[in-house]
Amino acid sequence: MRSTRAQILTGSEETAHELSDRLEAQTGAAGSLRHYGSGMPQESWVPKLHRGFEIRDELRDYLVEQANAPRPARYETNADEHTNRRVWAQWVAETVPSYERAAVLLGDAIHNLRAAMDHAVWAITPEAVRLAYPRRVAFPLHSTEKLYKDWLKSRKSWYGPTVLAVFEWAQPYAASANEIHPLHILQYLSNTDKHQLLNVVANNQVNLAEITVEPKPEGGVVSSVNEGVVEPGTVLARVEFPRHEAKSPGERTSMDIKGVFAYEQVVRYVDISENERWLPVGEVMNRIGPMVVEAVGYVISADLKDRGLYTEPSATTDSVQSDSDSA
């Protein structure tokens, strides 16, 4: 028996539309802001956000479909070897579903969300800078303060103080040691997808499995359950217990041994401390999507504030700016 825990990806498509409406309201009164120069429409990052969430929804549907895919396991036991004083039984994975398409979809979704952030920074960057250094314009995401400061040295004059404060707020290195920063996950997955297929694994066995032996044998039961990535041939679980000693010739006893296994769909991630983690795909997308929307909204709003054209104060951006001023 098995169960599959599939986390549903939720909650970002509407947010992208709300961002589009909010930015249009913020800039609609200032006609010159309809374009930030050089043919780059203000809305250029919005289609990237929308496309990222469209692919996310396609990925969600595929993961739900694959969650119900067969995961056959072979049952092995020495129950009939009556000369052995211990009985053992185990379940061995025979095949696992292919998640190549999930890896492609995840990479495409990540690419569009990362591109939306870069489009937003391109839009607020002075035209002269874009023409002179087009490859150096991007939304900075760095895992150490030194890397960020090095990036900032040659770019500090390009942006106003509120934009710079937003950049600093978004940096993954600012997260605590035990915190997984959503934008660091985004950057890691984006960089990985540029060079290799993202490693999405369906059969990540989780600690929800249960092995039961009824009736309980005298002498107790020793059981072990695999946790982590499952491949063909992986022993999912194993149980051992003393063989019942017959009290009369020809006596036979029967044992009911059952195993229930749980899986989740995960993606490989290496955190800032270089620790390998396998994160549930649904959780990853639910954390990345809203923060990307937030970062894009903040950087555009911050640029408008630096230009003196921002009409609705942003508490978060103001707080970031205040912290920057007091530093």
**pLDDT tens track for 243-294:** 877 666 655 667 788 777 777 888 999 988 888 888 999 999 999 999 999 9
Helix axis angle, 182-195 to 100-124, nearest 10°: 110
Q: Which of 97-101, 168-172, 214-218 has the highest mean pLDDT?
A: 168-172
pTM above 0.95, yes or no: no
pLDDT confidence of residue 23: 53
**pLDDT tens track for 68-85:** 888 888 999 988 887 788
pLDDT confidence of residue 17: 59
Residues 181/240, Cβ–Cβ less than 8 Å: no
Q: Band of the pLDDT at 202, cuts 50, 70, 90?
A: low
The side-by-side arrangement of strands in the sheet containing 222-225 is 73-77, 86-93, 235-242, 222-225
Q: What distances in angstroms separate CA 268 from CA 57, 188, 206, 299, 306, one per listed residue?
A: 20, 10, 15, 29, 39
pLDDT confidence of residue 155: 95
Q: Band of the pLDDT at 24, cuts 50, 70, 90?
A: low
Which phi and psi angles does 240 have, rounded to 5°? -140, 150
Backbone Cα Rg of the chain:
27
Residue 203: closest CA among 64, 49, 108, 97: 97
pLDDT confidence of residue 35: 39
* H/E segment holding residue 147: helix 145-153
Beta strand 256-270 with 2-5 is parallel
Tell me whether the omega of the peptide bond preceding residue 134 falls within 30 degrees of 0, making it cis. no
Average pLDDT, the chain: 80
Q: Band of the pLDDT at 95, cuts 50, 70, 90?
A: confident
Distance from CA of residue 117 to its chain's centroid? 17
